[in-house]
Amino acid sequence: MQKGRLYLIPVPLAEGAENSSYTLIHHDIINSIDEYVVENEKTARRFLKSAGLTIPQYDLIIHDYGKHTREKMDYNHVFANVLKGKDLGLMSEAGCPGVADPGADIVAEAHKRGIRVIPMVGPSSILLALMASGFNGQKFTFHGYLPIDKTDRSKRIKDLESQSMRDKSTQIFIETPFRNNQLLAELLRIAKPSTKLCIAANLTGEDEFIQTRTVGAWKNITVDLHKIPTIFLLFA
- Give, as one character, the DSSP assignment of residue 66: S
Tell me which H or E stretch contains 169.
Answer: none
Q: Is 214 exposed, middle or buried (0-12, 13-18, 19+ CB in 10 A)?
A: middle
The pLDDT score that the predictor gives to residue 162 is 97
**Model pLDDT, residue 21:** 80
Whole-angstrom distance, CA of residue 14 vs CA of residue 200: 13
pLDDT for position 93: 87
Report the candidate in 206, 191, 201, 209 with the shortest Cα–Cα distance to residue 227.
201
27/195 Cα distance (integer angstroms): 44
Domains in the chain, CATH or no CATH each: 5-119 (3.40.1010.10), 125-235 (3.30.950.10)
Tens digits of pLDDT across the chain (236 residues) = 799 999 999 989 988 887 778 777 888 999 999 999 998 888 889 889 888 899 999 999 999 887 777 777 889 999 999 999 999 999 998 889 999 888 899 999 999 999 999 999 989 999 999 999 999 999 999 999 999 999 999 999 999 999 999 999 999 999 999 999 999 999 999 999 999 999 999 999 999 999 999 999 999 999 999 999 999 999 99
Q: What is the signed CA dihedral for 54, 57, 60, 64, rounded to 10 degrees?
A: 130
Smallest CA-to-CA distance from 197 within 154, 233, 146, 155 is with 233
Burial of 72 (0-12, 13-18, 19+ CB in 10 A): exposed
pTM for this one?
Answer: 0.91
pLDDT at 101: 87
